[in-house]
Amino acid sequence: MASQEGKDSRQEIVDLLKQKACTKQELYEMLQEIFKAFKIQLKEIAGYLESNIGAIDKRVSVEYEEKGGFEAHLKFSGDILLFTMHSNIFSFDENHQVHKSAYIEKDNRNQYFGMLQIHNFLADSFKYKRMNDLGYLIGRVFINREKHFFVEGKRQLGFLFNDVDKMVLNDVYIKSIVEAAIVCALDFELLVPPFDKVRELTVFQKIQQQGNASFKTGKRLGFELSAQAKDTDIV
């Protein structure tokens, strides 16, 4: 026969599962619907950009593509934005600013967030299958069970959407996030690296990778990137 202490321990486990596991499952299901809403906005803006820029210059292509349930691509000119949904649910370190929120403090379940990530790649990296090329995280969207959200990111993505107490995600906000990500990518230029950083080419590099795939390419430092590059390179 189970002791009272054993029953209390089991009840504590049930309570924790109810508080954490059930909340996370509920949030994950909601996040899937939210990501579908992002896909709708991406497809819509792709159609708008294609019809408007196509009338000006047919060489500038705009394409939208879904890559399963967790990823969607928006290509415009020389850039691709990758929107991805993470399958896990997260909380934050106790020193994170989210824990200073009066809204979060009211209900412990509100501290759990689903995450969507936005990466910027060069379109040629995929076109020419340059496997060593780098993309950059320009934004992370965090949404909780009540659709309160905030965004960590570069440029407009870093300051337009940071009031988790008041901001509740809807189609208007989703549209604004997508548009801010596009502007960020367009403003983030591919720069020519210093001459001395790219003057050497090994035989292995030339044989293994052909033509314009000979160098690792990304926006921060052109076509030879340092692993030590700082986040402040994107401002």
Asked if residue 209 is part of any domain, the answer here is: no
Q: Is the pLDDT of residue 63 over 60?
A: yes
Tens digit of each residue's pLDDT (9 = 90 or more) over 136-159: 999 999 999 999 999 999 889 999
Please give the average per-residue pLDDT across 67-78, as a whole number. 93
Asked if residue 130 is part of any domain, the answer here is: yes
Q: Can you give the residue range of the structural domain that contains 35?
A: 4-189
Q: How confident is the model at residue 231 (pLDDT cuts 50, 70, 90)?
A: very low
Task: Report pLDDT for 55.
Answer: 79
**φ and ψ at residue 138, rounded to 5 degrees:** -110, -10
Q: At what angle do helices 171-187 and 22-54 cross, to 10 degrees?
A: 60
Asked if residue 150 is part of any domain, the answer here is: yes
Q: Is the pLDDT of residue 90 over 60?
A: yes
Sheet containing strand 62-66, edge to edge, reads 62-66, 71-76, 79-90, 113-122, 136-143, 149-153
Ordered DSSP codes for 154-180 = SGGGGTSS--TTT-B--HHHHHHHHHH
Percentage of the chain beyond pLDDT 90 is: 57
Asked if residue 158 is part of any domain, the answer here is: yes
From the CB of residue 219, how many other CB atoms can be counted at a distance below 10 Å? 21
Q: How many domains does the chain have?
A: 1
Tens digit of each residue's pLDDT (9 = 90 or more) over 165-190: 999 999 999 999 999 999 999 988 87
Asked if residue 202 is part of any domain, the answer here is: no
